[in-house]
Structure 1
Amino acid sequence: MPFVTTPDGVEIFYKDWGPHDAPAIAFHHGWPLSADDWDTQMLFFLAKGFRVVAHDRRGHGRSAQVWDGHTMDHYAADAAAVMRHLDLRGAVHVGHSTGGGEVARYVARFGEPDGRVAKAVLVSAVPPLMLRTESNPGGLPIEVFDGFRKAVADNRAQAFRDVAAGPFYGFNRPGAATQEGVVQNWWRQGMMGSAKAHYDGIAAFSETDQTEDLRAIGVPTLVLHGEDDQIVPIDASARRSIGFLRHGTLKTYPGLPHGMLTTHPDTLNADILAFIQA
């Protein structure tokens, strides 16, 4: 299987599909999942003639289950190691949830300075800051994230089942039809990874202030967010992010959940394709 070894010795698994001379799209997954969460998008864009790449974040999926480095800085540096190894240039970087934070930091600190990024897409993404602070009163209280930490430490398997069957995909809404295969696939991806990575990753996605990352991004950036996102509140994320981006476009979706890339792939794929081709 293809792996890249980062400068600090961590083996990162990646997928690389399509002709190497085709325009490239790099996908960055959310917590606590893996590159597999992008399979629907990767197959769609592969069929459209793109080269598609996705990696498992350290401690997630098939990447090494190291005990340390579960921070946004390391996530971005690991992504940079993959992109440099593959020598991707002029790529579009697409990130979901925590992966959106990874994209923002990667583009700001590595991608644009290296000349490797053409555009960025942030889907249901965590920037600029999820945690409620004096300067970010619309964020979520620390007790919410402490609850996530307790759930992971006490019974990760049950916690992951509850998140997937409930708020992540909006299956807890009245009249919603639960897609059991989707729930099981989310649980499968989560349980492949390390409990330590997942526990530490909660602080990474909730307490990392990415305001300056957003301000530093100069490439065109599309921000997509569901208006019924129960995981990353739209007002504290997408609607604030767009104010910091120099070349940002915001599109929101009434009634769609946090995991809309899985529940509504045709809609998301079409909008991302239109942005890439514009």
Structure 2
Amino acid sequence: ASEGHDMDHYVSDVAALIDHLDLRNAIHVGHSTGGGEAARYVARFGKNRVAKLVMIAAVPPLMLKTAANPGGLPLEVFDGLRSQLAANRSQFYRDFPSGPFYGYNRPGAEPSQAVISNWWRQGMMGGAKAHYEGIKAFSETDFTEDLKSISVPTLVLHGDDDQIVPIGTSSPLSAKLIKAATLKIYEKLPHGLCTTHADIVNADILAFVTA
């Protein structure tokens, strides 16, 4: 793996692995930051290797509010995540899944302590520097040109109650930029829908894969 915590490094690492394994006719599935990573891989390295793409609650086209992206989230939001991470990473990795990630902060929600603990476990296995710099990678990377160049069939999935990657500036815009995209929006589902509603998401992915 290369040393660097930005989207281009993420994608070059994927490309190196795919080339080493000589995978062809592959289907790439990415959630959240990984949805951006998968999109950039397909756009830049996927020629003759990729059959289809699935983006789930993904960060493209661009999360950060800029002059060209006025609907995005202000930099202060991501600075806040960085300060929480730096202050107490373990606490942050309990609070995040306990609340907005899985929609457990919504009225009537029934938080799963097992799911929260597993999120914390996975988080704490990673490196603090990678986590800190990864916030910039997922929030400030502009995927617009990547999306425009993707020609493989693409399934774009998003919950309309996503509190992490707001639907208003993400998947519907991505689906418009991708030539062969199918957009599916799930009513009231959270960012962590692959866990909370795995049966629904898996069925749609399987149908897309086998179509």
TM > 0.5 between the two?
A: yes
User: % of aligned pairs identical?
Assistant: 66
Structure having the higher helix fraction is 2
Structure having the higher strand fraction is 1
1:196-220 deviations in whole A, cap 9, x for unaligned? 0000000000000000010011100
- Between the aligned partners of 2:182 and 2:71, the Cα distance in structure 1 is 21
3-state SS in 2 of match to 1:92: strand
Alignment partner for residue 83 of structure 1, among 3, 7, 18? 18
Query: RCO greater where, 1 or 2, for CA within 8 Å and sep 6 or more?
Result: 2
**2:59 paired residue number:** 126
Alignment partner for residue 127 of structure 2, among 189, 194, 206? 194
The amino acid that maps onto 2:27 is: V
- Between the aligned partners of 2:84 and 2:27, the Cα distance in structure 1 is 35
Q: Are positions 1:170 and 2:103 aligned together?
A: yes
Alignment partner for residue 108 of structure 1, among 29, 34, 43? 43
**Cα drift, residue 145 of structure 1:** 0.2
**Cα drift, residue 239 of structure 1:** 1.1
The amino acid that maps onto 1:214 is: L
- Between the aligned partners of 1:184 and 1:116, the Cα distance in structure 2 is 37
The amino acid that maps onto 2:20 is: H
**Cα drift, residue 138 of structure 1:** 1.1
- Between the aligned partners of 2:26 and 2:185, the Cα distance in structure 1 is 24
3-state SS in 1 of match to 2:111: coil
**1:29 paired residue number:** none
3-state SS in 2 of match to 1:235: helix
How do 1:138-177 residues align onto structure 2 when only pairs under 5 Å count?
138-177=71-110
**1:97 paired residue number:** 32
The amino acid that maps onto 2:35 is: G
Q: Are positions 1:268 and 2:204 aligned together?
A: no
- Between the aligned partners of 2:46 and 2:111, the Cα distance in structure 1 is 38
Aligned Cα root-mean-square deviation (Å):
0.8
* TM-score (ref. length: structure 2): 0.98
Q: Structure 1: which 4+ aligned runs deviate by more than 3 Å?
A: none
- Between the aligned partners of 2:72 and 2:205, the Cα distance in structure 1 is 27
- Between the aligned partners of 1:84 and 1:185, the Cα distance in structure 2 is 32
The amino acid that maps onto 1:152 is: L
* TM-score (ref. length: structure 1): 0.75
1:135-174 deviations in whole A, cap 9, x for unaligned? 1111101000000000111101101100010000000001
Gaps of 5+ in 2: none
**Cα drift, residue 126 of structure 1:** 0.2
3-state SS in 1 of match to 2:100: coil
**1:213 paired residue number:** 146
3-state SS in 2 of match to 1:185: helix
**2:7 paired residue number:** 72
3-state SS in 2 of match to 1:176: coil
